[in-house]
Amino acid sequence: MTAGRALPRTLVPLKDESLTGYLLRLSHRLEFTPLELGQVLGLAGGSWSAGLAGRLILEIPADRATQFAERAQLTAAEVDALTYRPDAGVYPAVDVTPYATVNIWTQRVVRFEPWLRNLSTRYCPRCLAGDGSIIQARHGGSWSKYWRFAPVFACVEHGRLLDHLCPVCAQPALTRNPAYSSQLIPLSAVAGMHPAACRAPTADRRKACHGRFDEPAATAPTTADPAILQPLLDLQARINSLLTGRDPREIVATSCGRPVTAAQYFADLQAASNMLATVALHPSLADPALPPMPGLERFYTELRAFAADPARRALDPLLKDHTYGRFGSQTAIPLDSAACGCLLVLADGLLSAQDPYAAANRLAVLFGNVDLSRCLPNIGR
C-alpha cells in the first residue's frame, strides 16, 4: 500500500452517500479491506484509533479530513458531505453543539441519540443495486447516509418502504460486531466482500454473513392496508425536502400553527412521536387507547397491528431489548418502516393543530383515555 501518497484509483462519492458506503465501495475497487483503506486514508491507525471509529459518521477531524481528501483526490466539501456535519443545522439528532463542553460528546450522540440509528441502518435494495452505470454495476449503488435517520423510512425514488434486516441472517443491516460496537463497519478487516454484503458476525464471530442487501427483486415491506403507502411516501418526500434544504435559518414548515425552521420541526416531530409512541406502541393497552385524529384512523390501526404482533416486534432490536415499561422514556421509534411511517404521520398530524392549545387538547384527550399505570409499571403501585 502507498501510505502518504494519493491512491492509484479512486471513486467520486454518489448522491447522499455515507462514509461507510464510500469506504465499502472504494475498498472493493482497490481490493483492500475497509480497515486497510481507512489506514491509508488516515482514518484509522496511530494513536488516534486502531480501527475505524463509529464517531467518524458525525464529522472527521480537520487534519484527517485534509489527508483523506488528498489521498482519495476529493475536495474538502466532498469529504465533509460524507459525514453528518453539514446536516447538523437542520437535523438536531446530529447536532453536537449541545455537547460542546462534554469531552465524550461524540460518543454520547453516537450511542444514545435515538433519532440517529447508529448501530444499524435501513436500506433500499434497488438503490444499492445501482443505476445501471458500469461503475455502479461493479461496486454497487449509494448507501444513503440519511437511511440512519429515524424519520427516513421510505425510498421515494423507488416508491417503496425501506428494509432493515439481512435476508439471510435476519440481523439489522450493517449491524456492529457486539464485541466492537464503536466501530464504523462490522468486521472491517474481512476481505473480499461486496459493498452490499451483510458483514454481520455469524455464530463463529470471526466470520461474516454473506447475505446481500442489493436484491432488486426483493419484496418490499408491506402494509396491511395498501392505501396508506402513498400518504407515507408523501410524508417522506416532505421530510426529505426539509433534510436537504440549503439554509438552516429558513422558515420551511409549520408546527402547531407557528412558522418554524427544519430543525424546529424535527425537534417537535420527535417530541410528538415520543408522546404518541408511549401509548400507541404499548401492546397491552386496550383499544381504543388513542382516539385517532380525524382522517388518520388507518395509520393508527396499522400501528396498533404492529404493536400487537410479537413476531414483528421481535425483529425490531430496540423494541425487543427494552421492556415497554421503559420504552416511553427511551424515546425509541420502530425500525420497522411501516410502523415508523405510521407513527410519524400521527405525530405530524398532532403538529398540524392550529395552535399549541389545540395540540395540548388532543394530547389531553389521548392521555385521559389511558391507564398510565399499565404503560409505566412504577406509577400507582
Q: Which is nearer to Zn ion, 14 or 209 (CB)?
A: 209
d(CA 52, CA 183): 6
Tell me, rounded to whole angstroms, the distance of Cα 336 from its chain centroid.
Answer: 11
Q: Which is nearer to Zn ion, 94 or 200 (CB)?
A: 200
d(CA 171, CA 101): 36
Contact status: 43 vs Zn ion (CB under 5 A): no
Which residue type occupies 5? R
306: enclosing H helix or E strand: helix 297-307
Contact status: 124 vs Zn ion (CB under 5 A): yes
From 30, 135, 156, 169, residue interacting with Zn ion (rule: CB under 5 A): 169
Minimum distance, C-beta of residue 144 to Zn ion, in the bound complex (Å): 8
Lookup: cell for 172:
439489522
DSSP alpha helices (H): ranges in 146-261? 229-243
Q: Which is nearer to Zn ion, 28 or 282 (CB)?
A: 28
d(CA 97, CA 155): 30
| Binders of Zn ion in range 175-204 (CB under 5 A) | 198, 200
Q: What mask of x and - would describe binding to Zn ion in positions 58 to 87, judged by CB under 5 A?
A: ------------------------------
- ∠ CA 158-160-163 to the nearest 5 degrees? 115
Q: Which is nearer to Zn ion, 198 or 307 (CB)?
A: 198
Minimum distance, C-beta of residue 77 to Zn ion, in the bound complex (Å): 25
Contact status: 90 vs Zn ion (CB under 5 A): no
Give strand ranges (E) for 17-153. none
Minimum distance, C-beta of residue 355 to Zn ion, in the bound complex (Å): 38
From 211, 221, 328, 349, residue interacting with Zn ion (rule: CB under 5 A): 211
Lookup: cell for 250:
429558513
d(CA 144, CA 126): 12
- Asked if the peptide bond before residue 98 counts as cis, ω within 30 degrees of 0, the response is no
- ∠ CA 327-232-222 to the nearest 5 degrees? 80
From 166, 196, 340, 366, residue interacting with Zn ion (rule: CB under 5 A): 166
Lookup: cell for 343:
407513527
From 119, 135, 156, 168, residue interacting with Zn ion (rule: CB under 5 A): 168
- ∠ CA 320-311-330 to the nearest 5 degrees? 25
Closest by alpha carbon to 143, among 248, 26, 30? 26
From 122, 126, 148, 176, residue interacting with Zn ion (rule: CB under 5 A): 126
Contact status: 209 vs Zn ion (CB under 5 A): yes
Site stretch for Zn ion (CB under 5 A), options 43-51, 156-164, 236-244, 279-287: 156-164
Report yes or no: 56 and 83 within 8 Å, Cβ to Cβ.
yes
Minimum distance, C-beta of residue 184 to Zn ion, in the bound complex (Å): 18
Site stretch for Zn ion (CB under 5 A), options 50-58, 117-125, 137-145, 181-189: 117-125
Contact status: 122 vs Zn ion (CB under 5 A): no
Report yes or no: 195 and 28 within 8 Å, Cβ to Cβ.
yes
Lookup: cell for 297:
384512523
From 158, 238, 298, 322, residue interacting with Zn ion (rule: CB under 5 A): 158
Lookup: cell for 254:
409549520
Minimum distance, C-beta of residue 143 to Zn ion, in the bound complex (Å): 11
Residue given cell 410528538 in the structure block: 272
The size of the interface with Zn ion (CB under 5 A), counted in residues, is: 12
Contact status: 341 vs Zn ion (CB under 5 A): no
Q: Which is nearer to Zn ion, 220 or 289 (CB)?
A: 220
Contact status: 263 vs Zn ion (CB under 5 A): no
Question: How many CA atoms are closer than 13 Å to the CA of 169, on its beta-carbon side?
Answer: 20
Site stretch for Zn ion (CB under 5 A), options 22-30, 187-195, 209-217, 279-287: 209-217
From 127, 281, 333, 345, residue interacting with Zn ion (rule: CB under 5 A): 127
Site stretch for Zn ion (CB under 5 A), options 99-107, 140-148, 205-213, 318-326: 205-213
Positions touching Zn ion (CB under 5 A) are 124, 126-127, 155, 158, 166, 168-169, 198, 200, 209, 211
